[in-house]
């Protein structure tokens, strides 16, 4: 029987950071993971450069059934704390856009840093370890695994969400929560591309590969970023962001002219260049393929702008500012960056991440019903929630 003060299940972002921070407090810590390699999602995050935090991270950037839950952890271990750690290790980084911080070289720098911190504070890691059973006794928690029996006082569940099953994602954390009587809120894929109904898919097929600046919205939330047409549907940051707010059956509103007005430009062209054609005017703002597809779909004749009356101009303008599309669904966990829902925050202490009714059982990271926007927020939640638990285990 291997005895530790703390056992952490899951050697991802939250698990590794929690291990190091608990080790720093003098606790004996072991991390168990069923995968061969640790931190696989970190390694492939941010296109291999890991968007490890966001300078503007705040509770408003997170979705949860209880939007207040994340406040305590985020304020006690902030993005600036993690940035200091990254700087301490001499890891070069840069802001890409909107406060998003990426490694200059490789996401492996972050994994190496977490492993170095674990080594420094004597936290050990066992990979390829299947966990068969978890039981609670008067001595604490007993785990029977493919690498033997473990016993600990504090058990931290950091098994992440369901996205990218090929990287080792499992519902283990949710099942364990249920085993101990904790409520788990329904899960769904977030930060995920939309798929389209056949008719829209065919009509927009020629646009695959085109990116446009948009403001995409639903549920009174809007994101102003790029949208990408793909051969399956719609993607790009604006779409990934809004996908977390979208419910099946709903329409998504897409403003294709967030920074200018096609209506004003057509009116101006009517005065200054009345013989120019509509397509020429539109092509000043959009790729030609998009103009062609939109004109065909809406059966706008390509006449000189002088032939347009104000009503027609307003209709064209309205079309670009209020384009609506009803997605068929999403690409699901296969490509989603995160999982919405999970262990109900009402079951946990926001200060320590410990289950309110199960002494010594902690949940951190993505397995909890706290999901960040795209842009480094999800890793910040992993660091902040891990740190909060590490102070209490
Ligand atoms: P994480 O998924 O990192 O770790 C869970 C660990 O538990 C894994 O090591 C897994 O093997 C292990 N595990 C699961 N089941 C187990 C079981 N039954 N037994 C033992 N071990 C088990 N976020 C961000 O802020 N910036 C970014 O740039 C990106 N980029 C990005 C790209 C892609 C492609 C994806 C899929 C996701 C992102 N994310 C992101 C999201 C981010 O990766 C995610 O929110 C964090 O990794 C969550 O950290 P956790 O530690 O909670 O889970």
The full set of domain ranges for the chain reads 2-188+339-390, 193-331
pTM assigned to the model:
0.97
Q: What is the CA(39)–ligand 1 centre distance, in A? A: 7
Residue length of the chain: 393
**Residue 195, ligand 1, Cβ within 6 A:** no
Q: What is the mean pLDDT of residues 146-162?
A: 98
**Residue 375, ligand 1, Cβ within 6 A:** no
Sorting pLDDT into bands at 50, 70 and 90, what band is 9? Answer: very high
Q: What is the 3-state secondary structure (H, E, C) of 16-47?
A: HHHHHHHHHCCCCEEEECCCCCCCHHHHHHHH
Helix then strand then coil, in percent of the chain rounded to 5, is: 35, 25, 35
Q: What is the CATH number of domain 2-188+339-390?
A: 3.50.50.60
* CB-CB neighbours of 105 under 10 Å: 12
Task: Give pLDDT tens digits for 244-273.
Answer: 999 999 999 999 999 999 999 999 999 999
246 exposed, middle or buried (CB, 10 Å; 0-12, 13-18, 19+)?
A: buried
Looking at domain 193-331, its CATH superfamily turns out to be: Translation factors (2.40.30.10)
Whether 2-188+339-390 shares its CATH topology with 193-331 is answered no
Q: Are residues 112 and 157 in contact, defined by beta-carbon separation less than 8 angstroms?
A: no
Probe residue for ligand 1, chosen from 46, 130, 160 as the CB with the greatest number of ligand atoms within 8 Å? 160
The share of the chain scoring above pLDDT 90, in percent, equals 98
Q: What is the CA(160)–ligand 1 centre distance, in A? A: 5
């Amino acid at each position: 029987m291997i005895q530790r003060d703390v056992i952490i299940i899951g050697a991802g972002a939250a698990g590794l950071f929690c291990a190091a921070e608990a080790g720093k407090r003098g606790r004996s810590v072991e991390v168990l993971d069923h995968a061969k390699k640790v931190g696989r999602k970190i390694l492939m995050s941010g296109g291999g450069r890991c968007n490890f935090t966001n300078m503007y991270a705040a509770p408003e950037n997170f979705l949860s059934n209880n939007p207040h839950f994340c406040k305590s952890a985020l304020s006690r271990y902030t993005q600036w704390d993690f940035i200091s750690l990254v700087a301490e290790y001499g890891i070069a980084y840069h802001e890409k856009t909107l406060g998003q911080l990426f490694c200059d070289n490789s996401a492996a720098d972050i994994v190496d840093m977490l492993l170095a911190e674990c080594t420094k504070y004597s936290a050990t890691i066992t990979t390829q370890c299947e966990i068969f059973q978890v039981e609670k006794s008067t001595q604490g928690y007993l785990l029977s695994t493919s690498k033997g029996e473990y016993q600990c006082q504090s058990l931290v569940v950091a098994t992440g969400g369901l996205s990218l099953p090929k990287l080792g994602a499992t519902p283990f954390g949710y099942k364990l929560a249920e085993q101990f009587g904790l409520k788990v809120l329904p899960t769904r894929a977030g930060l995920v591309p939309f798929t389209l109904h056949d008719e829209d898919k065919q009509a927009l097929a020629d646009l695959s590969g085109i990116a446009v600046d948009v403001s995409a919205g639903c549920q009174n939330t809007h994101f102003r970023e790029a949208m990408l047409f793909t051969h399956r549907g719609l993607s790009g940051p604006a779409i990934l962001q809004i996908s977390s707010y979208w419910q099946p059956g709903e329409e998504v509103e897409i403003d294709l002219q967030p920074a200018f007005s096609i209506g004003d430009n057509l009116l101006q062209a009517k005065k200054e260049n009345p013989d120019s054609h509509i397509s020429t005017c539109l092509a000043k703002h959009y790729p030609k393929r998009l103009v062609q597809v939109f004109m065909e779909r809406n059966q706008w004749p390509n006449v000189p702008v002088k032939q347009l009356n104000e009503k027609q101009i307003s209709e064209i303008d309205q079309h670009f500012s209020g384009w609506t599309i009803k997605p068929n669904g999403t690409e699901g966990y296969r490509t989603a960056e995160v999982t919405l829902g999970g262990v109900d925050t009402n079951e946990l202490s926001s200060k320590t991440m410990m289950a309110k009714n199960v002494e010594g059982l902690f949940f951190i990271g993505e397995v909890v019903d706290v999901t960040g926007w795209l842009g480094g927020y999800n890793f910040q939640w992993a660091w902040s929630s891990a740190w909060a638990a590490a102070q209490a285990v």
